Chains A and B, each alone.
Chain A
Amino acid sequence: GENVEQHPSTLSVQEGDSAVIKCTYSDSASNYFPWYKQELGKRPQLIIDIRSNVGEKKDQRIAVTLNKTAKHFSLHITETQPEDSAVYFCAAITRAQKLVFGQGTRLTINP
């Protein structure tokens, strides 16, 4: 079936360190992989995405890598800041054009 697994469920890092969140997907036809950030009480908001014809994409302190062969993709946040604290969701679009989300990672940045 269509499934996205996300790890870890919680992550705590010191301010200034890097954070990495990993996801795997099951639908080999998936070709679009967005990452959403959700702050407490707010809606999920797109922060970065990657398409299957690209292996890596970077936007300032955040980057996403994709390994299509292994069907996994990762979010990397460098030089973390307190405002990076939030829940992060990965997702994959299926061949049926559904966006399926991972379970989320609660990231806490310790000052």
Chain B
Amino acid sequence: DAGVIQSPRHEVTEMGQEVTLRCKPISGHNSLFWYRQTMMRGLELLIYFNNNVPIDDSGMPEDRFSAKMPNASFSTLKIQPSEPRDSAVYFCASKLSGANVLTFGAGSRLTVL
């Protein structure tokens, strides 16, 4: 298995632009998590899905952030409009819902100028 696949690996954009981050979980995993990592706040859970259904989005910072999981093999995290304070590394992770071990993707490093 190729593991959790994220794209893009790096994105630099200007304030106000729309950003879309993508994630393909490990085949067979039915729980998917989006985390944001910054020096100040560490690893923050933004949202997670079970069987493509959003279970808890209490970590989504504000309405500019949205996440979807249209099928078991694909999820997106969208920021519109982006702001400089959104600059961070965004990690996607997946696991089997009945299991505990969480596997991370390589992350998407976002820089908003």
Question: A interface vs B, CB < 8 Å?
Answer: 32, 34, 42-46, 49, 51, 89, 93, 96-104
Contacts and interface: CB of A to CB of B under 8 A. Distances in A.
Interface string B77-113: 0000000000000010000010011111111000000
Given A34-B101, A96-B55, A43 B43 contact: no
Interface residues of B, number: 20
Given A98-B48, A99-B33, A101-B43, A46 B102 contact: yes
Interface in B5-58: 31, 33, 35, 42-43, 45, 48, 50, 55-56
B101 A49 contact: yes
A43 B106 contact: yes
Given A98-B56, A100-B45, A32 B106 contact: no
Chain B interface SS verdict (over half): strand
A44 B89 CA distance: 12
A99 B102 contact: yes
A34 B43 contact: no
